[in-house]
């Protein structure tokens, strides 16, 4: 995990819609180079937290900082925003070839990097699909393309929202391995939201449990699963909290 | 009758009759200009409206849908009144000129281009937008990407707009006046020849008009194929 430098800090962060609070996190630091898993049942506020970290939404109240500066209308600017990319549960690819889909983010930045695109396609086992129209791909292939287009940009932070839900074990394995590899070689900070505790256990350095919008517990993954401090965490791990 | 009309059409085309040539050129010029103007305004506005959803947009959508079926005669009448000597645009002196015809046809094509573009943009999955945003797209880049995703629909809107412009007779008749060598286009020429009993010439002109429409649509379809192949 390296030095404990926080990329994001969250203090008393609240988000809600139509008068209903869906997220209320007292304190959370996301450290440079870590893989942080956020688990919890559906509707716990996991996706909302990710959308805040991706700057897709503004919080109702509280403070969120990114690289030590409070998030506002001025910060992050475009260049800083582009240090964060995200992969969604249902990837929306463009009606273009696989290669063009992966090159899209680079093109937005005015870069042409065909070599990088080909390298990442090969690394994700997609090289034989380079010139195939993206809308003909299977779910697992589409998600790997989505991961490739997010990671070819070499972001500081990769946000993953249930990236392997409904995928077969082969695709899950490939995606998880690649995420770990990128985290180790490029020190990419990864925040992964998942409702499978096994995925958190396999990937994450630290794991947190979100329940009804609150961060109930956050610890190093082995402690989280072996000696949870909170009864809710123990219940969730045992499968007693139905979701 | 049809056979002789067809022969007449072929001979008119083969003769490269300068009068006919002028009429064809003016037809394409007026309707082409109207299409370009309708595209310049209609595509961005349609895209913008397709990406928004608030009360005003729904009212505007109803207005645009109504505009997609505007009677050309009514548009002609309104433009005529605007451009007539007492009208608020009377000073421009556009009445009975191709400019007036372009204005009228632009008004006819604009709702079609805008409405179909809007619908095409709306049919793009709304989940695409945040995903583009997290890849670093600015608002402007998102708009361009979504328009590109909706490109087939946009081409349909352009084809419909051009079709409405080139085939209408009511508006150009009123604001252009069907002046020979100046504001006579294919549709108004057909009306004139029919009235004078030159049915074979009128039919021949009709065949030429249909052929022009077919050629432009074939071009559009070819262009769609070009887009589909991913080079667009």
Residue B71 · residue B170 · CB < 8 Å? yes
Residue B72 lies in a domain: yes
- Average pLDDT of A201-209? 97
Residue B231 lies in a domain: no
Output the pLDDT for position A1: 42
Which parts of chain B fold into alpha helices (H)?
A: 2-15, 18-51, 55-67, 72-83, 98-122, 128-133, 139-149, 151-167, 170-176, 186-195, 199-228
Size of interface A-B (CB pairs under 8 A): 51
Q: Rounded to 5 degrees, what are φ and ψ at A176?
A: -65, -45
Q: Rounded to 5 degrees, what are φ and ψ at B134?
A: -75, -5
Q: To which H or E segment does residue A107 belong?
A: helix A98-108
- Average pLDDT of A134-139? 95
Choosing among A58, A104, A109, A148, which should be mutated to test the B contact, i.e. which has the most B CBs within 10 A?
A: A104
For chain B, the straight-line distance linking the first and the last C-alpha, in angstroms and rounded, comes to 45
Q: Which of B128, B135, B149 sits opposite A149 (nearest CB)?
A: B135
- Residue B106 pLDDT grade (very low, low, confident, very high; cuts 50, 70, 90): very high
Note the pLDDT tens digit of each residue in A36-67.
Answer: 999 999 889 999 999 999 999 999 999 999 99
d(CA B137, CA A110): 11
The average confidence (pLDDT) of chain A is 94
* Top-confidence residue, B40 or B200: B40
Residue B85 lies in a domain: yes
pLDDT over 90 (residue A195)? no
Q: Residue B92 burial (CB < 10 Å; 0-12/13-18/19+)?
A: middle
Q: B149 vs A95: CB contact, 8 Å cut-off?
A: yes
pLDDT over 70 (residue A3)? no
pLDDT over 80 (residue B227)? no
- Whichever domain contains B85, its CATH number is 1.10.3720.10
Residue B230 lies in a domain: no
- Picking from A179-183, B123-127, B228-232, which range would have the lowest pLDDT averaged per residue? B228-232
Q: Which of 15-74 (A) contact B at CB < 8 A?
A: 51, 54, 56
pLDDT over 50 (residue B232)? no
d(CA A56, CA A40): 21
Q: Which of A91, A96, A153 sits opposite B136 (nearest CB)?
A: A153
Residue B229 lies in a domain: no
All residues of chain B having their beta carbon less than 8 Å from the beta carbon of residue A54 are 130, 133-134
Q: A92 vs B230: CB contact, 8 Å cut-off?
A: no
In sequence order, the β-bridge partners of residue A65 are A9, A70
ipTM, two decimals, is 0.93
What is the count of structural domains for chain B? 1
Residue with tokens 């203090």: A11
In sequence order, the β-bridge partners of residue A66 are A8, A69
d(CA A206, CA A192): 11
- Domain ranges, ordered by start, for chain A: 6-238
Q: B230 vs A133: CB contact, 8 Å cut-off?
A: yes
Output the pLDDT for position A2: 42
How far, in Å, are A50, A243, B20 from residue A4 at the CA level? Answer: 21, 33, 81
Third-level CATH fold of A6-238: Rossmann fold (3.40.50)
Range of the domain at B185: 2-10+20-224
Residue B174 lies in a domain: yes
Choosing among A80, A81, A95, which should be mutated to test the B contact, i.e. which has the most B CBs within 10 A?
A: A95
- Residue B56 pLDDT grade (very low, low, confident, very high; cuts 50, 70, 90): confident
Furthest-apart CA atoms within chain A: distance in Å: 52
- Confidence (pTM): 0.85
Note the pLDDT tens digit of each residue in A150-194.
Answer: 999 999 999 999 999 989 999 999 999 999 999 999 999 999 999
Output the pLDDT for position A188: 97
């Amino acid at each position: 995990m390296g030095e404990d430098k926080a990329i994001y800090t969250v203090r008393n962060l609240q988000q809600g819609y139509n008068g209903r609070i869906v997220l209320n996190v007292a304190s959370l630091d996301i450290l440079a180079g870590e893989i942080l898993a956020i688990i919890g049942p559906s509707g716990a506020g996991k996706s909302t937290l990710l959308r805040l970290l991706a700057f897709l939404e503004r919080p109702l109240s509280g403070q969120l900082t990114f690289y030590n500066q409070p998030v506002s209308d001025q910060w992050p600017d475009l260049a800083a925003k582009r240090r964060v990319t995200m992969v969604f549960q249902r990837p929306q690819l463009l009606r273009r070839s696989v290669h063009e889909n992966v090159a899209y983010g680079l093109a937005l930045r005015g870069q042409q990097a065909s070599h990088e695109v080909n390298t990442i396609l090969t690394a994700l086992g997609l090289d034989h699909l380079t010139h195939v129209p993206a809308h003909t791909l299977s779910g697992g292939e589409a998600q790997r393309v989505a991961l490739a287009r997010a990671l070819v940009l070499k972001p500081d932070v990769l946000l993953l929202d249930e990236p392997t839900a409904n995928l077969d074990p082969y695709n899950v394995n490939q995606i998880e391995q690649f995420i770990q590899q990128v985290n180790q070689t490029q020190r990419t900070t990864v925040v992964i939201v998942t409702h499978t505790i096994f995925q958190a256990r396999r990937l994450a350095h630290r794991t947190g449990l979100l329940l009804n919008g609150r961060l109930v517990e956050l610890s190093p993954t082995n402690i989280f699963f072996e000696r949870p401090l909170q009864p809710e965490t123990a219940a969730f791990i045992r499968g007693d909290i139905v979701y | 009758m049809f056979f002789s009309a067809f022969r007449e059409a072929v001979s008119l085309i083969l003769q490269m009759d300068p009068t006919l040539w002028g009429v064809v050129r003016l037809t394409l010029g007026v309707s082409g200009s109207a299409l370009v103007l309708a595209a310049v305004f209609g595509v961005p506005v349609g895209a913008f409206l397709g990406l928004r959803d608030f009360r005003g947009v729904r009212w505007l959508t109803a207005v645009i849908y109504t505009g997609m079926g505007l009677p050309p005669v009514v548009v002609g009448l309104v433009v005529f009144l605007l451009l007539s000597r007492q009208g608020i645009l009377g000073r421009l002196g556009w009445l009975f000129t191709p400019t007036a015809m372009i204005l009228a046809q632009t008004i006819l094509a604009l709702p079609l281009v805008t409405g179909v573009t809007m619908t095409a943009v709306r049919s793009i999955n709304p989940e695409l937008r945040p995903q583009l945003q997290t890849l670093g797209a600015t608002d402007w880049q998102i708009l361009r990407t979504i328009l590109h995703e909706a490109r087939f629909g946009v081409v349909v809107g352009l084809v419909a707009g051009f079709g409405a412009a080139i085939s209408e007779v009511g508006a150009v008749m009123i604001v252009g006046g069907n002046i020979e060598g100046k504001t006579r286009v294919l549709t108004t020429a057909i009306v004139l020849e029919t009235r004078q009993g030159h049915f074979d010439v009128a039919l021949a002109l009709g065949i030429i008009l249909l052929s022009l429409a077919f050629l432009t649509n074939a071009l559009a379809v070819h262009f769609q194929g070009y887009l589909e192949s991913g080079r667009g």
